[in-house]
Amino acid sequence: MKAFFFPVFALHLLVLPAAFAADPWEPGGTLDTCIEAVNKERTGIVTGWQQSGGGEAPPYVISVLNADGTHAEAFCDPAKPANFQFNKKSGLSRFSMYQRATFPEVKARATAPEIFTAPVRISSMELSVGVSGKPTYKYQMFLPSNHKATVEIDAVTGRLNKGHVN
């Protein structure tokens, strides 16, 4: 009986990373392509992104905070990441407060799903600054059971602040 379970367990370990590696939010995926293209057009800090469709190369809505404190959003299709039309969002934010986020968002994005045992699908990220002045990455994701989950990562240290299933 042990001879049967070991190959099944070994196959399970190989299949999970292979299934997760093809996700568009993985480093070097279509999300990074869109973020780089948006940053070329409008420099600033990416304060959020949200998947705006499905498929292997889903489009994204990306929010950027400029040095003057204004927010702008752009729609990005990874198949043709150019010709952005930025929409200004109302309100002002202190750019210096968001500059405190020294932990790279790419690393936080890779860390967020690790608290779950099965592969998850990340649908959005929001960078926010709390009342205490501490920046936090907040990721919304879907579990294989179609439950929503939220994970908050400290944007300075990279530590897990909170994780829960909605």
Dump pLDDT digits (tens) for 79-121: 887 777 788 876 667 888 999 999 999 999 999 999 888 889 9
The pTM for the full model equals 0.81
Tell me what pLDDT residue 5 has.
43
pLDDT in tens, 27-42: 678 899 899 999 998 8
Residues with Cβ within 8 Å of residue 86, at least 6 apart in sequence:
41, 42, 64, 72, 73, 74
User: Does residue 77 surpass a pLDDT of 90?
Assistant: no
User: Does residue 64 surpass a pLDDT of 60?
Assistant: yes
First vs last Cα of the chain: how many Å apart?
38
- As a whole number of angstroms, the distance between CA 4 and CA 26 comes to 33
Tell me what pLDDT residue 61 has.
94
